[in-house]
Amino acid sequence: MTIIVTGAAGFIGSNIVKALNERGERRIIAVDNLTHAEKFHNLIDCEIDDYIDKHEFIERLRRRDFGKVRAIFHEGACSDTLETNGRYIMYNNFTYARTVLEASIMLGVRFLYASSAAIYGGLTGFIEERSSESPLNIYGYSKFLFDQIVRHILPDATSQIVGLRYFNVYGPRERHKKRMTSVAFNSFNEFRTQHSVKLFGEYNGYAAGEQTRDFISVEDVVKVNLFFFDHPEKSGIFNLGTGRAQTFNNIAVTVVNTLRELDKKPALLLSELIKNGTIKYITFPTALHGKYQCFTQANLTKLRRAGYKAPFLSVQKGVARYVRWLNR
């Protein structure tokens, strides 16, 4: 039977395709929009059965062109949190997603999709409840609104629906994301080209580089997706982070010291890296005032209750592993 991955040439979608391949899955339909063609690089080492443009996909799904479909991993979306074209974001992240969901329900196909921690905005509860949700930008609102639709559908759903609220994901196959690439990716490239790393300065009561996020490796994101794929009886909306908040300084120090290790040099403390100019701070951008999450940390209670017991990679382990991959 066929498995469908939308956003298959994107960051998380391509990692899901690769992980499915490693399980022996080959009957995979990759759905994406390759107007920005460089994303094709993410699929070069993957095996797929067919590629479908996103604009043709829904009608073909409704016509049952793909035969018996086991599940849809809906990873396709506009992931640019700085995008200001509200019509574009709402179409891609809400209208299109809802259409795919409705077609899945009509056909009785399992539906696993990418939600976002941006839904929580400036609130700090990070619990999958309406009272904890207050998005700060149109990206967060588009994800929030889709989750509300899913909440209304879930009690009567006869096939699996799983929404995963991704926190700050980093890892292989993100290069095409440009300004939305992770802090780890940007720090790696800055250090290799400029021998220094730039982070945001103090903002909203947080010292320079001390803004704190729940950074999660794409390796763990894929594992949780496949956990729910393996458990079709489990549905719901779940946080997907590590449950541990770490600073941007943690990321930069890990990147720099991993590269220093590869260059046969000793590790340095944050204070030493600041003193010698390796880590620098820039003025917090005015355009992000009031639209920026200074702290995120996934509450994993619901995910653990669903049965996912595996540990998550810390920044020190996950980012170091990613840096070695980038260096190769």
Query: Catalytic amino acids?
Result: 139, 177
Under 8 Å between Cβ of 71 and 29: no
Spatial distance between the Cα atoms of 194 and 180, rounded to a whole number of angstroms: 20
Sheet holding 2-6, edge to edge: 50-53, 28-32, 2-6, 69-74, 110-116, 161-166, 236-240
Spatial distance between the Cα atoms of 190 and 196, rounded to a whole number of angstroms: 6
Spatial distance between the Cα atoms of 15 and 34, rounded to a whole number of angstroms: 17
DSSP string spanning 164-205?
EEE-EEE-SS-GGGGGGS-HHHHHHHHHHHHS-EEEE--BTT
Q: Is 250 exposed, middle or buried (0-12, 13-18, 19+ CB in 10 A)?
A: buried
Spatial distance between the Cα atoms of 198 and 191, rounded to a whole number of angstroms: 9
Cβ contacts of residue 328 below 8 Å, gap of 6+? Answer: none
Spatial distance between the Cα atoms of 98 and 73, rounded to a whole number of angstroms: 14
Closest CA to 73 of 48, 109, 119: 109
Give 37-51 as a 3 state SS string. Answer: HHHHHHHCCCCCCEE
Spatial distance between the Cα atoms of 236 and 15, rounded to a whole number of angstroms: 22
The H or E element containing residue 162 is strand 161-166
